[in-house]
Structure 1
């Protein structure tokens, strides 16, 4: 009976055993097939040596070639297996995979130990992954903690072991694994943390690097130096247990005494790189291979700019500075007092009222319309659309020259000039010179009530310094691959002329007077300087922008919350920062005198005062569309006397000449050289000459609140 009873149990057991055997065979076949397929799809060893799949490495260089910032992954030299110090190889094997030399890519003992820990503690504490599995994950997979990913990882590890030798696998691993601080590979880590090649690693240094793999963000010396040294002690203990090092060697090791390279501070250079690097997307298409970005930044000027801003900016305030060289190269950029505490770039992002520094555009419009620095205007009370500007002196000076009015930053004169040339004309002038923010056309706009950016204002002054040629700020000179192949090179465009040279020269005359005798005297540096101060209402903002020896520098100071700063004036702290910076920045440059005497165009030359009261030689009347309304002098009808009506216009039938093709040819000058442009009528003191018809059509200024206080100079 017992044998009969046991026979079903035996048959069941045998059946399950057969099923298990069949399943094992099928599984083994499936595993072999999967590994074979994986092997056939693995890249070659030479392809695996490439590390561009880890991201693009960008090295940013200053104007002299010095690397100022490294972004993205950091790669050192690729070290072959024989070049890697044995102590480094043994340290990594001891802490990550002690049976590396004997397992086939997957360690059954390690897996069993990890499962036991999982059962004992209720969570996965040990992964049981071998070095080969980690390499497979780093190259081909993600860090997702899923069963499917672990299966793929194991298959790839087996394939790697079949395809490559143990030496090749360890070489790949040590040159590709991430060690924290942006460093990939042991050479990059050694240079990053210890300042030398991995070929020179000591036992303690190798132990520190080997200990980073488990948790680079936690054990990295850049994050926690003490934790990195403590972890190294654990690695040294494991090496002693494995017999890699002796007890004496373990005792002699001293990770706590290893000197680490200090982490460079994120100084104001990052304001510049944060502004310049996003432009790469528009300049080059390369997004994978390592590149070198050669910039315009001058490190000496940048240090001087930092010192000038921090030394002069009032307590509780922020300061910003931009320095542009000829053609627009940014030589220095400070966006705040401390990049670490505030990433906000006040030189390129902040929009603030410029105060009287905006008068640059008011006077440019006036000069272009016909004013000259020596012309006399009257400083007197003025009201425009209910707005009455007042001067900082709370008084009026009577008759003054344009030069003196600008140097002393007289508000009433600026308001009168703006009204005469048209507030829309002033706004257009500002936008012509590179102001990218919206400019309002309220009468008070001439005193700087529209928000602007410091870099835009500095660009405008630089264009005046370049004799009216447009200046566009740029920070990237060229871009090359790591091997030196040129991907991009900046070309300066000097073809766009904003104003005539004589207008720029006269404006430079006014700006120089502002520094020599006016509100900007604190900006004097012992050589010709031209510039302008700016102070907004309640002393919320202080500006000084000027140029000398080919370098244009703009300075702004104020609070981020736009609260008042008692005592803040453009002619004080900002002008002082300008002075401190420029004294050092142009010290090695030759002294340059400004060209303020430029030949005027023919129509501004006055050979005889009576020319203004005589008829032009080539007079012809035209309608609003430019069509002729009457013959030129000497063709049919004489030029009418002032105050009389042209009979030919009153009664076309009375004309001797007919409006035929011959008359039109003579009227448009086809039978003679083109006529000269007639000179403007005489200018009176305190007023502009009449503008051409298209310039007299100025829209009415928008009303402002009566009694509004304008910005002070």
Structure 2
């Protein structure tokens, strides 16, 4: 049996070894190499297992298994590396326990007397709104175009990130971003805009913290109230008012799509810069909203057919001059602004629009041909409350407020204060002066038409704005007394107490000049100009409230009555005829400065006192524009519109329907008594004025109030005592 097994044994054989008898197995160097290669090729016993293993591991399954393996390996190492980066950059951040949402910059909401919003001021340019109060289209539009899975992700959207990466790779350029709204909020709240790995890691950590700390609605509201929408607008309220001149509460679907479309590139897609690009982007937003089922095809069709309303230009409208005035005065009342405020003003928005329209109409019609490029208007009531303020022809072109900041010479518009001082000193509207050449020191004032009229009453002299008579009156009562009276009535600017003050050479603002006329309207009480009524916090806590309800008396009723009668004649028969208001008693005074640099008209009814100025910012002369020209026309246009629908009422000290106060109503009885005793007619002219060569003072022979009854008779004066004693 053993022999049989031995006989069946098969000895190994190799190529080239058959026929050898010695059984000796030796390989040369070349044979070894050939034998190895040959054995592998032919699949000898040593190569067979390896080949079998290759056959078993080959094919698609093996490839997938290998791919999964290496993905796991790389993923593990990537996770380790990412974790290391997170730990490293996270360690560089402050402790999460100290993280807090930065306070939104305070907003100042400025309201008109009717509760309408005049403007919002502050770093954001608009108040913060809750999701419930803003238009529902806004959050839907933003979610549709910026973060469709906002309500389902945990602050980071892996699917959205992968989709954005794939889209960017296939398009060959940056088309989509993978940041969620939460990440964008984190970046806006805490981080700089630089694109670094550290900032991106910190953004992710902060986004996760926001999602853990706040609800989705809170995060979305914070985002919409802080994100930049271009054109210096932060938050949807500021952007809506900037672009559509309406609140974010009221925007329609198309306008919401425009706002949402801005988020991709706020400056480039701004409707103020490129309306066509903004509209094209809005169409993309609408399509995204339809894909998400937020709106219907019918709503899309309606929105596409509606052109979004657009504001005329950035912060257009004269009401912004009033808003700027509020902001200039606010710090002095409450100090630093540290929270949202609500300012109740005295501005009547309807009157404000009428004032703006009146100024614009006159400038557009006659401004260019008469070289008048700018104008200003201020209108106040009897308490000094500013009801309308226009600081220039177009706020969008120039934000400088010519009504409250520019100081200009008022010209003859200052004369009412000269005449009021003269009335207080005992003169009357029927006092007579000689309109003739006058020399005061080296100064020789002339009338506008360079003519002289001889003997005229003070009432006529004021109506015709005679410079020579005003100069005489200043020297009679004294320049210092005129300055004191003007200061008492409300002129706060520095005034030079010299003879030329009679012609309004001291510079004042239009606001203070207009307010100083108000005592003629209100019966003699000071009218301190003011625009802020109340300052409150957003929750209603009052921080300031004005107290102009108990003004001091600055003129007697007698003087007010006399001045009203005289100033009414300026409109009925004098230089202010263009300002006449049919059916209403009105009074006022024109003013024109040297070389027609400035032209003014300040006038009043029983309801409003309004001042108007025309001129050029550079002081360039206009083409013979006087106060009775463009300013009087603009004044008439505004006051006509402002009094529409109101019942006419007479000026103080007059009767309804009368053209003027009886001119002898203000006579001093003692003055009349003395005049009759002396045999002189109170209606006759006073003795011509003679200037003292040494002092420059004027001695016109008129009996001063302190020396009533004295008359020049040779070298002796007849006194009141002489008359009463029969001497």
Q: Give the conservation status (yes or no) of the 8 Å contact 1:194–1:260.
A: no
Partner of 2:650: 592
For 1:92, the equivalent position in structure 2 comes to: 143
* In 1: Cα distance, 2:344 partner to 2:564 partner: 33
Q: Is the 8 A contact 1:603 1:679 kept in 2?
A: no
* Correspondence for 1:574 among 612, 631, 638: 631
Which residue is 1:302 aligned to? 352
CA distance in structure 1 between the aligned counterparts of 2:542 and 2:471, rounded to whole angstroms: 52
Q: In 2, are the aligned partners of 1:479 and 1:488 still within 8 Å (CA)?
A: yes
Q: 1:384 aligns with which of 440, 458, 462?
A: 440
| Correspondence for 2:126 among 73, 81, 94 | 73
Residue 496 of structure 1: aligned partner: 552
Cα separation, partners in 2 of 1:533 and 1:22, compared to 1, 3 Å: closer
TM-superposition CA deviations, 1:149-203 (whole Å, max 9, x none)? 434323222333455576765565456544457463599869976979889976x
Matched, 1:414 2:470: yes
Displacement of 1:263: 1.9
Kept in 2, the 8 Å contact 1:520–1:571? The answer is yes
CA distance in 1: counterparts of 2:597 and 2:221, whole angstroms:
61
Alpha-carbon distance in 2 for matches of 1:190, 1:311: 26
Aligned-pair Cα RMSD in Å: 4.7
CA distance in 1, matches of 2:454, 2:180: 90
Relative to 1, partners in 2 of residues 1:503 and 1:147: Cα closer, same or farther, differing over 3 Å?
farther
Q: Offset of 1:552 from its aligned partner? A: 1.0
The TM-score with structure 2 as length reference comes to 0.68
Q: Tell which deviates more after alignment, 315-324 or 276-285.
A: 276-285
| Equivalent residue in structure 2 for 1:470, among 526, 532, 544 | 526
The 2-side partners of 1:288 and 1:397 are apart by: 64
- By how many angstroms is 1:329 displaced? 1.1
CA distances 1:477-515 after superposition (whole Å, capped 9, x unpaired): 223344444333222154433343333333333222333
Determine if contact 2:536/2:544 at 8 Å carries over to the other structure: yes
Flag the structure with larger Rg.
Answer: 2
Contact conserved, 2:114 with 2:348, CA < 8 A, in 1? yes
Query: Does the 8 A contact of 2:141 with 2:260 survive in 1?
Result: no
Within-5 A mapping of 1:365-444:
365-444=421-500
Aligned counterparts, 1:127-138, within 5 A: 128-138=178-188
Q: Residue 334 of structure 2 aligns with which residue? A: 284
**Structure 1 pair 192–500 and aligned structure 2 pair: CA distance change class (3 A):** same
Name whichever of 454-463 and 155-164 sits farther off: 155-164
Equivalence map 1:147-166=2 (5 Å): 148-163=198-213
Deviation for aligned residue 1:324: 1.1
Matches within 5 A, 1:539-618: 539-587=596-644, 588-595=646-653
The residue correspondences of 1:194-205 to structure 2 (distance < 5 A) are: none
Aligned residue in 1 for 2:415:
359
What CA distance in whole angstroms lies between the structure 2 residues aligned with 1:96 and 1:471?
57
- The CA distance in 2 between the partners of 1:523 and 1:145, in whole Å, is 64
Relative contact order (alpha carbons < 8 A, sep ≥ 6): 1 or 2 greater?
Answer: 1
Contact (CA 8 Å) 1:183, 1:189: kept in 2 or not?
no
2:311 alignment partner, one of 263, 275, 291: 263
1:383 Cα deviation (Å)?
1.0
Quickly say closer, same or farther: Cα 1:225–1:684, change in 2 above 3 A.
farther
TM-aligned CA deviation for residue 328 of structure 1? 0.4
Number of aligned pairs? 590
Alignment of 1:4-153 (within 5 A): 37-38=95-96, 40-42=97-99, 53-71=103-121, 72-79=125-132, 92=143, 95-96=146-147, 101=152, 105=156, 107=158, 110=161, 128-145=178-195, 148-153=198-203
Q: Is 2:367 the partner of 1:315?
A: yes
- Give the corresponding residue for 2:504: 448
| C-alpha distance after superposition, 1:67-116 (max 9, x if no partner) | 232342243332499x978x966963664576984566375994998799
Q: Secondary structure at 2:423's aligned position in 1?
A: helix
C-alpha change, 1:146 and 1:370, in structure 2 (3 Å) is farther
Distance in 1 between the 2:532 and 2:462 partners? 36
Task: Determine the structure 2 residue equivalent to 1:508.
Answer: 564
Task: Find the partner of 2:594 among 537, 544, 554.
Answer: 537
**Contact 1:353 1:452 survives alignment (8 Å):** yes
| TM-score, length of structure 1 as denominator length | 0.69
- Contact kept, 8 Å, 1:357 with 1:448, in 2: the verdict is yes
Give secondary structure in 1 for the equivalent of 2:407. Answer: coil
Equivalent residues in 2 for 1:174-253, closer than 5 Å = 177-180=227-230, 182=233, 184=235, 208-234=258-284, 244=292
More deviation, 564-573/286-295: 286-295
**5+ residue gaps, structure 2:** 1-75, 654-660, 679-704, 718-727
Q: Which residue of 2 aligns with 1:8?
A: none
2:353 counterpart SS class? helix
Answer whether contact 1:546 1:554 (CA < 8 A) is retained: yes
What is the alpha-carbon distance in structure 1 between the residues aligned to residue 461 and residue 667 of structure 2?
A: 25
How many angstroms apart in 1 are the aligned matches of 2:278 and 2:538? Answer: 32
CA distance in structure 2 between the partners assigned to 1:299 and 1:223 by the alignment: 29
